[in-house]
Amino acid sequence: MNKDEVIRQIRVLGILPAVHTDSANEALFAAAALHHAGLPVVEIPFTLTEAPAVIADLLTHHPEMIVGAGTVLDLAEARCAIEAGARFLTSTGFVPEVVECARQADVAVFPGAMTPSEVIAAWKAGADFVKIFPAATMGGAPYIRALQRPLAKIPLIVSGGVNQLNLADYLRAGACAVGIGVALLPDEALRQRQEHRIHELATRLLALVSKARSM
């Protein structure tokens, strides 16, 4: 799967799930559950020590999935993620060397940003999307709408505090997609292997995306 296809699929799905756990087994379970629920995309943050191994394992057993690396904070982590097979890199801030590494490897990259200046800098550096994080702290959907008006050509992914109550607001405000964590993958559901619960949440969130885009 090439970079253009990764970008296209994320735009179509509108949801970028992130697994927040300290357990490699829970991360593997979460990704498989998402896949079965019709969300074949997952971000494995580098806050998980075994992130490279999890990424490689997922791509071995689910080669059709879009598996990426999150919280990539430096060049070493970027190279490690790419070597593991990550199909996108994202971080909570703008790290120029991470963006450049992804560009050279022809891997999609979504650096984080908060202010208009940071958004513009990340986009000029070669970002495929710019991730607004933490969106809720910055003012939520009204802030995204305010950014989108002058920066309409820059595709935004919104992350940080996204849930069932505000997801549609972010999409209507101009976000291409939303990053979502515990609202889709609750800690309890991971610990107790509640695949049915993740499936239900995924179905509900995908329906919200569809409804928001039809309005």
Structure tokens at 165: 């109550």
Q: What is the mean pLDDT of the chain?
A: 97
CATH code at 122? 3.20.20.70
3-class state of residue 81 by DSSP: helix
Confirm whether pTM is higher than 0.85.
Answer: yes
Encode pLDDT of 120-166 as tens digits: 999 999 999 999 999 998 899 999 999 999 999 999 999 999 999 99
Flag whether pLDDT at 215 surpasses 90: no
The angle that helices 116-125 and 96-105 make with each other, rounded to 10 degrees, is 30
Q: Provide the percentage of residues in the chain whose pLDDT is more than 90.
A: 98
Give CA–CA dist 103/129, Å, rounded.
Answer: 13
**Largest Cα span, the chain:** 45
- What pLDDT sits at residue 52? 98
Structure tokens at 85: 């097979």
Give CA–CA dist 207/122, Å, rounded.
Answer: 31
Q: Between β-strands 177-180 and 156-158, what pairing exists: parallel, antiparallel or unpaired?
A: parallel
- What pLDDT sits at residue 65? 97
Tokens 């990539």 belong to 72
- What pLDDT sits at residue 88? 98
- What pLDDT sits at residue 155? 98
**How many structural domains comprise the chain?**
1
Flag whether pLDDT at 1 surpasses 90: no
Encode pLDDT of 169-179 as tens digits: 999 999 999 99
Give CA–CA dist 118/148, Å, rounded.
Answer: 14
- What pLDDT sits at residue 186? 97
What is the number of other CB atoms lying within 10 angstroms of the CB of residue 115? 11
Encode pLDDT of 93-130 as tens digits: 999 999 999 999 999 999 999 999 999 999 999 999 99
Number of H helices, E strands in the chain: 11, 9
- Residue ranges making up the domain that contains 9: 3-214
Give CA–CA dist 115/122, Å, rounded.
Answer: 11
